[in-house]
Amino acid sequence: MSKQLRKSPIGAALLGLTSVLATSGHAQAEARTFTIAAVEPRGGANVDQEPFPTEPLPVGPGYVLNKPDQTGRWEVVVYLFTPSQIIVNQDDDVTLEFAGINGKSHPITVAGYDKSFELKRGRVTKISFKADKTGVFPIECHTHTPSMRAELVVLPRK
């Protein structure tokens, strides 16, 4: 393209269109890093202010409902990952950094990507892989089921 044409409005428009055409189509794979915290939120009340729940929580060690103590205080605990959903594109290079905040130990599996490890409180465990399979892949702590689950969503590359 000549210098005069590049300086004209038509030339600028053609140059912009050329740039759009050159960059559209298949997106490039990216390096993606996410931090996932293993947490244990708690809440509670005193029976004088709020009655102890009569309905049971879902079965499994991921949910804990502590009965009122001698002072009348009761507590509920739920083990979970935050965030609970990670979305990437196919062929992205993915690094998941798991931070052990609560809970002594979490044996974790990322299904479909052959990743298993033990996360300990006060430590960060990094796993890396190429997201070469599309779909929804469970991330699960095998100690604190059914609540301590997340999912890796790998979208098809466009």
Q: Are 20 and 148 in contact (CB under 8 A)?
A: no
* Amino acid 25: pLDDT: 45
Q: Are 132 and 97 in contact (CB under 8 A)?
A: no
For the chain, domains (ranges, CATH) are 31-41+78-155 (2.60.40.420)
pLDDT digits (tens, 9 = 90+) for 55-109: 999 999 999 999 999 999 999 999 999 999 999 999 999 999 999 999 899 999 9
* Amino acid 27: pLDDT: 74
Please tell me the pTM assigned to this model: 0.78
Query: What does the DSSP 8-state code read for residue 102?
Result: S
105-129: b (≥16 Cβ within 10 Å) or e: ebebbbebbebeeebeeeeebeeeb
* Amino acid 158: pLDDT: 81
List % helix, strand, coil for the chain (3-state, nearest 5).
Answer: 15, 45, 40
